[in-house]
Amino acid sequence: MAGGGPPFELEVDAHEALAALSRAIRAEADGKELRKDLAKSMREALKPAAAEAKGGIMAMGSAGLSTSPALRSAIAKKIRPEVKLGGRWSGARIKAFKTKGVRGFANAPKRTNRARGWRHLVYGRADSWVTQHGKTDWFDDAMEGVGPNAKEAVERAMEDMARRLASRIG
């Protein structure tokens, strides 16, 4: 993935329905508040999936030899639900953001998730490189189990808002 975006993510894409709902909310006098309520509900719906992903990375083994910031907890802190309503992209997703400043390892979430691992110098030896492996597919496996439930929960939050808007009309 190019640029400064997330290394990977789980997206819930009901684009047309969300776009229609956003238009209906904008048409209301208290649209700003309704939009905040919808975003909050959608983020709440994604919290269990984010917690599952955090648990996936925290289950990765550790040699415990480093005195640097803990890699697993740094990655876990960068996993969170995100909701955007409007603009170029609308939707809800769980993102694992880059970990800038943690051991000079900005792509830690992405690299610990893949089977290839990553290469780095052995501490104190400028001529010795090693390949280190994380917990392959920790994010993917976590999302596989909770992804469908997260999608249903987000769609339920959207339906609740749609019903709330429809009750105002009728």
| Domain assignment present for 3 | no
- Distance between CA 124 and CA 65 in Å, rounded? 13
138-169 vs 31-58: helix crossing angle, rounded to 10 = 160
Structural domain that includes position 86:
8-97+138-165
| Domain assignment present for 89 | yes
Residue 40 pLDDT level (bands cut at 50, 70, 90): very high
| Domain assignment present for 117 | no
| Domain assignment present for 55 | yes
**The total number of structural domains that make up the chain:** 1
Structure-model confidence comparison of residues 13 and 58, the more confident one: 58
| Domain assignment present for 156 | yes
Predicted TM-score (pTM) of the model is 0.77
138-169 vs 15-27: helix crossing angle, rounded to 10 = 40
| Domain assignment present for 30 | yes
| Domain assignment present for 127 | no
Q: What is the pLDDT of residues 130-159, one digit of tens each?
A: 887 778 888 888 888 888 899 899 999 999
Under DSSP, the state recorded for 69 is P
| Domain assignment present for 64 | yes
Q: What is the pLDDT of residues 48-87, one digit of tens each?
A: 999 999 999 988 877 655 656 688 888 999 999 999 987 7
- Distance between CA 19 and CA 23 in Å, rounded? 6
- Distance between CA 63 and CA 141 in Å, rounded? 23
